[in-house]
Chains A and B, each alone.
Chain A
């Protein structure tokens, strides 16, 4: 089955700086890669996703890049704000299979 690794597990960034979270996956059949933000005790919220036919996608301060050859994808948050503090999860889903395999999560703390 799919295995998704995520790094770092914790990340502290000064407000206004950029944050980068990286994930690798094992199943070359995976073609859908969402990123979720989860605040304590709340549901995961989709913040951005990318499919395997695209190398990069951007939505305001958030961007995701995908390297299919290397089987890794990254989340980039620019101009970080205190409200960006949360746990972020990456996930991967293979073609024709709806199951999401989640990474282990990154606790992002934005220092004011």
Chain B
């Protein structure tokens, strides 16, 4: 249980185009989803937190108009990188958090997706 998927696993696009990445919780309802960015040989940096049905909360320095996040259901969140540029090339990872009741755990663990490698030419 507690499986999170991401699609696509990798994508190459031209500079100036937009790319949408999907994050799905397959066997539990995710009340909150998180989007991270990881550059090569660096740590995971939180970009934004999204709660189902409400606007995402972005971390300082992350442009909300460039990184559009939609959390339309309890199992799906999407990240759209608009007008992508080469500096946006990175590994984007989502994580999903259920509730203790949903996952029969005593605390709220985050479950990570497999990541999406974005390359902007």
Contacts and interface: CB of A to CB of B under 8 A. Distances in A.
Instruction: Tell whether A pairs with B.
Output: yes
Interface of A: 32, 34, 41-46, 49, 51, 89, 98-105
A42 B44 contact: no
Contact of A51 (B46, B107, B112, B117): B107
Contact of B112 (A44, A49, A99, A104): A44
Given A44-B112, A51-B107, A98 B44 contact: no
A105 to B, nearest CB: 5
Contact of A44 (B32, B49, B93, B117): B93
Interface residues of B, number: 20
A42 to B, nearest CB: 7
Contacts, number: 42
B114 interface: yes
A89 B32 contact: no
A99 B34 contact: yes
17 contacts: A42-B114, A42-B115, A43-B113, A43-B114, A44-B44, A46-B109, A49-B109, A51-B107, A89-B44, A98-B32, A98-B97, A98-B108, A99-B49, A100-B110, A102-B45, A103-B43, A104-B42
Given A41-B117, A98-B32, A99-B34, A32 B107 contact: yes
B46 A43 contact: no
